């Protein structure tokens, strides 16, 4: 079982049910639907197909709904593309029109009010570079073309030197979020998070809908880095979205920030996903570049909970080969011993101190005695996430009667969930679970197993018991 999970974006290359089945079988743990593209009808089919495969094959594949957020984009462009050249000028406008070599529409209502003289404007992940020359304060900004290229419809536009005055959720995002919650997605990713308040706004909508969905804050703006500790605290997980982040900040800063965010998330017991251009060459090729292999391997060895594929599986020509390749990289990278055992002493002031101390002790004991498996019974998934944050070499199996958290746990490093609802007495339940794991070939005679539970077990309260056993 790979401990680092695989998130795959689903698109035209993977809409087909048979392809979807193959990539899940090859190692996909979470299917991402990107609301920047596609329609609700298309994504409803994806959700239904994933759910059907889960029911049929006993998978716990999770669904991740990625909201577009305040993503700024070009509008339509004449003839599908026009080339602009360095040294010239172009006018960016918030008035809708088909772009040409002289003018182009940007989906930014306050464009002329917010963008100041000298501010950089980057188009299509920085392929085109502009500098603002002047603004009329109403609709238009005149910009000098520093680096030319082809303007194409709907390409992203970044303003790294401008404080963008747009809400975290647009009308489209509200519709997409309600659709996702109506269809029971486990994870909701919010794009272009700038503050913890953005996360709390989404959380309030989810809570109002009485949904168990968890919130992922996507880190891709400089403002987010200034409030990163508050954002990690407010969110359920973090995504290091290196595409837009690498455009908004100096490219040489991204690797260090990636490593720092992984460390912070492990300390906070929050899952962290590394995303964008993981093995992008495999959109067309059947093998990744050596640099891509190293990139994925480093994310795994740093301790990321998951790596995410975008165009590789949504639009690429070899989606199944992509999953097989990244799975092999993960499997080999997991043999690196230094990635395991990262401990943070439990906080005695925490209201979960007893549970945290039990999880800490379980992970530490597993290391010291060579236990192969840590088994926990949980109603919320908290103990599974907490154990995971210590990055034990032992497998972590979570048994729960709460079906809502089974798929959610598929994003969490090293955790595998099982449905179980026969909570009678602690000894009987532990014995029954041990037998099931033996029958499934997940543990064998002579191995040491650590069980975590709450006593009395029927109360399903916070974990307060730890037991070390030998499989007989």
**Residues catalogued as catalytic:** 32, 73, 218, 276
**Residue 75: CB partners within 8 Å, gap ≥ 6?**
96, 97, 98, 99, 104, 105, 106, 107, 153, 154
- Which stretches of 3-54 are assigned E, i.e. beta strand? 5-9, 30-34
337: DSSP letter:
G
Burial 191-209 (b: 16+ CB within 10 A, else e): bbbbbbebbeebbebbeee
* Bridge partners of residue 131, in order along the sequence: 120, 144
Quick one: CA torsion of 355, 359, 361, 363, rounded to 10 degrees? Answer: 180
Nearest CA to 380 out of 417, 348, 427, 430 is that of 417
* SS3 assignment, position 216: strand
Burial of residue 351 (CB within 10 Å: 0-12, 13-18, 19+) is exposed
Question: Residue 442 and residue 401: Cα distance in Å, rounded?
Answer: 20
Count of other CB atoms within 10 angstroms of residue 301: 16
- Which stretches of 152-299 are assigned E, i.e. beta strand? 157-158, 187-190, 214-219, 237-241, 272-275
Burial 254-276 (b: 16+ CB within 10 A, else e): beebbbebbebbbebbbbbbbbb
413: left (phi over 0), alpha (psi -120 to 50) or beta: beta
CB 80 within 8 A of CB 152: yes
């Amino acid at each position: 079982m790979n401990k680092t999970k695989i998130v795959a974006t689903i698109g035209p290359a993977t809409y087909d049910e048979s392809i979807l089945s193959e990539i899940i079988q090859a190692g996909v743990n979470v299917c991402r639907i990107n609301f920047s593209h596609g329609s609700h009808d298309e994504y409803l089919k994806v959700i239904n197909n994933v759910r059907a495969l889960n029911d049929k094959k006993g998978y716990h594949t999770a669904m991740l709904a990625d909201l577009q957020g305040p993503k700024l984009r070009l509008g339509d462009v004449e003839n599908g593309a026009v080339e602009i050249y360095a040294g010239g000028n172009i006018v960016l406008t918030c008035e809708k029109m088909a772009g040409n070599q002289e003018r182009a529409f940007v989906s930014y209502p306050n464009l002329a009010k917010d963008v100041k003289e000298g501010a950089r404007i980057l188009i299509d992940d920085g392929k085109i570079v502009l500098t603002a020359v002047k603004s009329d304060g109403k609709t238009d900004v005149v910009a000098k073309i520093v680096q030319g290229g082809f303007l194409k419809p709907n390409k992203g536009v970044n303003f790294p030197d401008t404080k963008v005055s747009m809400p975290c959720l647009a009308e489209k995002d509200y519709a997409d979020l309600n659709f996702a919650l109506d269809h029971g997605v486990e994870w909701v990713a919010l794009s272009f998070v700038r503050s913890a308040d953005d996360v709390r706004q989404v959380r309030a909508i989810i809570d109002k809908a009485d949904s168990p969905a968890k919130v992922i804050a996507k880190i891709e703006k400089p403002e987010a880095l200034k409030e990163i500790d508050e954002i990690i605290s407010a969110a359920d997980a973090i995504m290091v979205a290196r595409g837009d982040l690498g455009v908004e900040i100096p490219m040489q800063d991204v690797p260090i920030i990636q490593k720092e965010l992984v460390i912070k998330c492990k300390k906070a017991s929050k899952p962290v996903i590394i995303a964008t251009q993981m093995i992008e060459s495999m959109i067309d090729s059947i093998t990744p570049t050596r640099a891509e292999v190293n990139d994925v391997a480093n994310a795994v060895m740093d301790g990321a909970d998951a790596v995410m594929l975008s165009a590789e599986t949504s639009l690429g020509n070899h989606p199944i080969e992509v999953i097989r390749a990244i799975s092999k990289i993960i499997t080999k990278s997991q043999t690196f011993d230094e990635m395991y055992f990262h401990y943070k002493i439990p906080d005695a002031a925490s209201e979960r101190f007893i549970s945290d101390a039990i999880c800490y002790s379980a992970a530490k004991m597993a290391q010291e005695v060579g236990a192969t498996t840590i088994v926990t019974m949980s109603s919320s998934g908290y103990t599974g996430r907490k154990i995971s944050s210590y990055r034990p070499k032992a497998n972590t199996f979570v048994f729960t009667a709460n079906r809502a958290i089974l798929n959610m746990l598929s994003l969490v490093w090293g955790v595998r969930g099982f449905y179980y609802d026969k909570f009678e007495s602690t000894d009987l339940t532990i014995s029954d679970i041990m037998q099931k794991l033996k029958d499934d070939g997940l543990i064998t005679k002579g191995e040491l197993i650590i069980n975590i539970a709450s006593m009395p077990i029927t109360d399903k309260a916070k974990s307060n018991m730890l037991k070390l056993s030998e499989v007989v």
